Amino acid sequence: MALINSNYYSFSLKRTVEINVIIPTPEGDEQITDKKTQDSYQYEQGLRVVYLLHGAYGNYSSWTRFSNIERYAQKHCCAVVMASAENSFYQDMRHGGAFFTFFSKELPTMITSLFPVSKRREDTYIAGLSMGGYGAWFLALSNPNMYSKAASLSGALDIAMLYDNSKKGSIPGPFIWEDIFEDPSHLKGSRADLFYLLSRCKESGVIPELYQACGTEDFLYPMNQSVRDRIKDSGVEFIYEEGTGDHDWDYWDSYIQHVLEWMMKK
């Protein structure tokens, strides 16, 4: 397993950024033979790749510090890419960084140019937790021809509801809404609204496969139940899982294994 830490200048963010990239290599408890290496590590063909997003307060190192993602990536022989988005909800912020442009255009171009990963849609996936759960669906539904599967863990998936609840003080958060969105009081039906994006994907006939999971003790559990029901009513097929757990790394470390099992099924 190679964990590569890279610093490079981002033209969309106009500053140097730091990313972590996991590239599986033959090691650990494997029986290393020439044939097994050739069969499993098809670098020339391109490895399947997961863009893995952090939540609020997190950064590019959150998943490697608090989960066993390196071991899980090794098990599934997939590349994993992790970068920082600050508390941006993965948007091109009104006052701040152009994180949507960075994650949807610049970062994938850099990754596919420098690392042995596939450029094919069917091999490209995205997942995240909390704010990053929203970000994974937002980026996938905004770019349905880029990602074939998108997974949300404990996701803040109803952005309009989250804004309303935060203004009422019922949900805490570090977000300066007016810096992120042009008009946060009108998020419903906007390009930031996942239900609007999903309706556009339905019209085009290209919808990434969706996965949603949330712990039953999570403060975002009621929101995730609401989102689950709305998607069911829309007629879009998706995977929903829940189980005992809170908004914490014990839950996310457990369920990212479910996500990878689902993603790597052909």
pLDDT tens for each residue of 124-175: 999 999 999 999 999 999 999 999 999 999 999 999 999 999 988 877 778 9
Residue 42 is predicted with a pLDDT of 81
pLDDT tens for each residue of 164-190: 999 888 777 789 999 999 999 999 999
Element (H, E) at 262: helix 249-263
Q: What mean pLDDT, rounded, does the chain reach?
A: 94
pTM: 0.95
Angle (CA) 51 252 102, round 5°: 25
Average pLDDT over residues 32-55: 82
**Residue 133: count of CB within 10 angstroms of its CB:** 28
- Give the model's confidence band at 86: pLDDT under 50 very low, under 70 low, under 90 confident, else very high: very high
- Give the model's confidence band at 40: pLDDT under 50 very low, under 70 low, under 90 confident, else very high: confident
Fold held by 2-263: Rossmann fold (3.40.50)
Domain boundaries, the chain: 2-263
Residue 171 is predicted with a pLDDT of 78
Q: In what order do the strands lie in the sheet with 149-153?
A: 2-10, 15-23, 79-83, 49-53, 124-129, 149-153, 209-215, 239-243
Q: 188 vs 128, 163, 196, 197, CA distance in Å?
A: 22, 10, 8, 11
Nearest residue to 257 via CA among 142, 127, 85: 127
Residue 34 is predicted with a pLDDT of 60
Of the ranges 32-46, 119-133, 192-206, which one carries the lowest mean pLDDT score?
A: 32-46
Residue 28 is predicted with a pLDDT of 59
